[in-house]
């Protein structure tokens, strides 16, 4: 099944989730920490009741919540960027190629790198305290 052109359920989606699960198991077996970074090039400047969020984003968060992986969800951070800029989309951060497939441009890569670095510093400090 698809939502807004993205696979949201069915056999391809299940294969995707199974592949992620196998990767997590392999990493866990080798004592490798995993950080999943969720980003969405096509979110809208709404909060979390949006159908796009509910159909595409929340199911991934729910799946990852059932794992021992660390998760950095960029969704709220990107909403904050759009609010600050008064933007209706993230065109300032992304390139889109056809078929619809969002890729970060240089500003998007810098934003993602800064968020990951900040998250890893906080995560490391937390792990050192625990």
Residue 111, pLDDT above cutoff 90: yes
Residues 97, 101: Cα–Cα separation, whole Å: 5
Mean pLDDT of 83-94: 84
Number of domains in the chain: 1
Q: How far apart are CA 9 and CA 79, in angstroms?
A: 25
Return d(Cα 96, Cα 5) in angstroms, integer. Answer: 14
Rounded to whole angstroms, how far apart are CA atoms 97 and 127?
Answer: 39
Range of the domain at 78: 2-129
- The confidence band for 22, taking pLDDT boundaries of 50, 70 and 90, is very high
Q: How confident is the model at residue 95 (pLDDT cuts 50, 70, 90)?
A: confident
Of 33-37, 46-50, 105-109, the one with minimum mean pLDDT is: 46-50
């Amino acid at each position: 099944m698809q939502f807004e052109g993205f696979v949201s359920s069915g056999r391809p989606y299940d294969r995707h989730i199974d592949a992620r699960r196998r990767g997590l198991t392999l990493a866990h077996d080798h004592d490798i920490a995993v950080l999943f970074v969720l980003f969405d090039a096509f979110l809208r400047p709404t909060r979390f009741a949006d159908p796009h969020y509910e159909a595409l984003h929340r199911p991934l968060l729910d799946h990852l919540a059932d794992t021992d992986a660390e998760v950095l969800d960029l969704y709220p951070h990107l909403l904050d960027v759009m609010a600050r800029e008064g933007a209706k989309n993230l065109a300032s951060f992304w390139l889109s190629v056809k078929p619809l497939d969002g890729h970060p441009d240089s500003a998007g890569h810098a934003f993602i790198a800064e968020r990951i670095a900040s998250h890893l510093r906080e995560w490391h400090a937390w792990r050192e305290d625990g």
